[in-house]
Structure 1
């Protein structure tokens, strides 16, 4: 937040706000709109896209936006100080703004949105870990070719982990584990079991299911792995159950082994502080170890760093300013896909079943190192929705690409294209 608050105050004083377009007005999109319009200086929402624009109108009404400043007729010429509300993506993208926030959670639509936004010369901030883990390298390269930025967001766990990762590296330590802390893990949760929880917090049952069944954390940690070059040390990660403080969990790992590589991504279930993130890092420098011990981080050589929360929508405006004013990318792939999210059968599935995708009744996603996923020809979770099974699959069995009829060939071809691209930089 340091520097960001001053930059936004300066914009506010000069009457030069960062202009933001929001795509998707579900739970996250609505919260981002509220945070920018009511609580962020030097920034404004000037365009909202949703398939059903009336949902956007409902949100704007709730936060007290003047209906006279809402342009809900696509034929009206855009005027500064107004908000374009539309279900027409081209009209949305023609609105003059500085950055687009993708908050739909849809992989196929998110991919098309990003490609179109880049063509219009717009930065894209993605609040869509599923999209980032599936198509991040491709979108990074495409954005750079158009002279714009594609980045994940602070506030969601991958962005918060990357803030901590960058901090730890900057003070001279080597990160060995980038981790996430969960309160619950049950592979077999589904939209029916999660319906009440979802209603309580204004989420879709599918979103709530993806949190509980491990798919969401798999996409998040795959995104972190791809940003750092880290890997997983087993399919699905370790997911240790531990009910103490994360500082006390370092003995779960063989750090001599981890030091040989670039480290791993992982998570704990039940640890504290929840729902935080952590980085375990290493140093053998005697003076570093002396001072870290003096500052109460222990004798080393392994040190625990953590952030006790992730505040999602509250930190999106910070990310927007980092990108627009400082060209500071929060999280992007380092050099390609290091870890993929593969598709596992949540229950016994039968020939002819059309897979319902993320957070559904049929499947859950787990992390696997990319070379093993590709060697085994495993179906990427981000491409599973709509595929039709051509054979029976047992519960907890990985689904292969050869087990399905592919619905969207273009989506699969774009995914495969990433493995032939020369994607560098981080």
Structure 2
């Protein structure tokens, strides 16, 4: 509860937290909008492949156009403006920088930027959930060994869910489930960039005029983004991923405690301690009442002894529960995305703590064929026409040799793949790259030692 005071102290001392932003898209622009209004934060530089886009983001969020200084880190360091560069490595290496924000959305770029940040002694806030799920457990360990912070992005749903899980555990409750809401129907898994706007009620022309990327928006619709975010939460909290993938049960906020409990107790979960996403649509396409499309939730129950007393308190204070009164639910109906990101920056720089970070490799997202694919077909990755991302326990991913969705772009199939089949490493020709090597290193680091397994 003291981040604002700590930031104000840094401002009064004339040494604000110096931040470098990589990626001036929507998330980055939302951060810029609030960073300029936050005493104690100084955006020292922005790296983007399009300097014009970075400058436009500054202007759109209320910065003085003259604050943009192309390539001048010396001026930025003295508080004279914001340096704009195309080279992210140059920004990471800039003298005086404390915190790097990766908001690129590219898994391979995120891995590269994280390694550079660790090398140069910078904390990192990984907005790039795709990179986090591809290799975050290994990257977080490297940052910890270097005495640095690797953090999820506050304002994005994974970090907010991790906070709710931490709150429940700090209160002494047992977490039954945690996750978010979204708009989902089973048919959405087959959605492509060619059909995505039909589901959003937009024409392709309207979407193009608004600058909306069809592949990115399709990743939210076809289930891939939900799988990625739930994998990040599982890796950050120790909650389990369902073995059959996300079920996306329809549920309004008043039904969370009843739906998100174990199947044996009348809910939909395989067991207690799971991640799951609820749909704002019933299977017939009708709207669920009081839906949680933009929000996050946690369901929890008291531990014994003392459970009966806690459940009585639930009744007395109007807590939403299941019919037994045992499982309770709390939720946040919306999230502010990049407008809240400064919390992560301040926490990393001033407390030395992440707002959520992977602590193990517990869940993964494998590439799953949207349709039958022929040998020689080229995969087009997250939100594309060929594959969607399916959540699975990490042990299943390792056993199958599943190709992570973050590497399923621009690779060629060596055999036919049936609709609904998980693509594996052995099914593709994939070029060597830093991202591939880091992912393979992570798989080796977290693969169970067969000699330690009991017979």
TM-score strictly above 0.5: yes
**Where does structure 1 lack aligned partners over 5 or more consecutive residues?**
none
Instruction: Return 337-346 or 389-398, whichever deviates more.
Output: 389-398
Instruction: Return 52-61 or 113-122, whichever deviates more.
Output: 52-61
Q: Is the 8 A contact 1:175 1:263 kept in 2?
A: yes
Q: Which residue does 2:200 correspond to in 1?
A: none
Deviation at 1:14, TM superposition (A): 3.5
1:164 counterpart = 2:164: yes
Q: Which residue does 2:389 correspond to in 1?
A: 365
Q: Is the 8 A contact 2:22 2:88 kept in 1?
A: no
Q: Which residue does 1:188 correspond to in 2?
A: 190
Q: Which residue does 2:274 correspond to in 1?
A: 264
Q: 1:212 to 1:22 in 2, by over 3 A?
A: same
2: CA distance between counterparts of 1:73 and 1:412? 31
Deviation at 1:71, TM superposition (A): 2.4
Deviation at 1:293, TM superposition (A): 2.1
2: CA distance between counterparts of 1:157 and 1:62? 25
Q: Is the 8 A contact 2:69 2:82 kept in 1?
A: yes
Q: Is the 8 A contact 2:231 2:365 kept in 1?
A: yes
1: CA distance between counterparts of 2:167 and 2:61? 36
1: CA distance between counterparts of 2:63 and 2:297? 39
2: CA distance between counterparts of 1:234 and 1:181? 20
Q: Which residue does 2:123 correspond to in 1?
A: 123
Corresponding residue SS for 2:155: coil
Deviation at 1:227, TM superposition (A): 1.1
1:288 counterpart = 2:310: yes
Q: 1:114 to 1:45 in 2, by over 3 A?
A: same
Q: Which residue does 1:235 correspond to in 2?
A: 244
Deviation at 1:30, TM superposition (A): 1.8
Mapping 1:86-105, distance limit 5 Å: 86-95=85-94, 96-105=96-105
Q: Is the 8 A contact 2:176 2:272 kept in 1?
A: yes
Q: 1:13 to 1:209 in 2, by over 3 A?
A: same
Corresponding residue SS for 2:409: coil
Deviation by residue 1:178-217 (Cα, 9 ceiling, x = unmatched): 1211123411222222354855764422210100000001
Out of 57, 60, 71, the position equivalent to 1:59 is 57
Corresponding residue SS for 2:105: coil
Deviation at 1:58, TM superposition (A): 2.0
- What's the Cα RMSD here? 2.5
TM-score if structure 2 supplies the norm length?
0.85
Instruction: Return 252-261 or 195-204, whichever deviates more.
Output: 252-261
Q: Which residue does 1:254 correspond to in 2?
A: 263
Mapping 1:3-402, distance limit 5 Å: 3-37=2-36, 39-73=37-71, 79-81=77-79, 82-95=81-94, 96-185=96-185, 186-194=188-196, 196=204, 199=208, 202-243=211-252, 245-247=254-256, 249-250=258-259, 253-254=262-263, 263-270=273-280, 272-283=291-302, 284=304, 285-297=307-319, 298=321, 300-334=325-359, 336-402=360-426
Deviation by residue 1:350-390 (Cα, 9 ceiling, x = unmatched): 21111111111111001011111221222111111121011
2: CA distance between counterparts of 1:234 and 1:409? 30
Deviation at 1:251, TM superposition (A): 6.7
Deviation by residue 1:270-307 (Cα, 9 ceiling, x = unmatched): 15233111111121422222222211125632111111
Deviation at 1:392, TM superposition (A): 1.7
Q: Is the 8 A contact 1:176 1:259 kept in 2?
A: no
